[in-house]
């Protein structure tokens, strides 16, 4: 990520967030993650964030709804 080449995508301004909680969540919550969902668009390596009843890719904004309860 820390490359010199900067690609401007004109997205939301980045704030200095503390270490992304996403990753912590996955580590701590790894056991309860059923299969560890990866983003079908970004491919393996990019996790989908779990929301209430859906999963969401923070990278490409892919969202998938989980209809079963």
Q: Which stretch binds Zn ion (CB under 5 A): 1-9, 10-18, 26-34, 60-68?
A: 60-68
Q: Which stretch binds Zn ion (CB under 5 A): 4-12, 18-26, 30-38, 55-63?
A: 55-63
Question: Whose Cβ is closer to Zn ion: residue 26's or residue 62's?
Answer: 62
What is the rounded distance in angstroms from the CA atom of residue 54 to the CA atom of residue 35? 14
The CB density around residue 25, as the number of other CB atoms within 10 Å, is 14
Q: In the complex, which residues of this chain contact Zn ion (CB under 5 A)?
A: 39, 41-42, 57, 59-60, 62
């Amino acid at each position: 990520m820390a490359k010199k080449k900067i690609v401007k995508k004109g997205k939301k301004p980045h704030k200095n967030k503390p270490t992304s909680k996403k990753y912590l969540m996955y580590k701590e919550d790894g056991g309860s993650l059923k299969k560890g969902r990866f983003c079908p668009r970004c491919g393996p390596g990019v996790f989908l964030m779990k929301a209430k009843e859906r999963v969401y890719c923070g990278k490409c904004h892919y969202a998938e709804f989980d209809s079963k309860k």
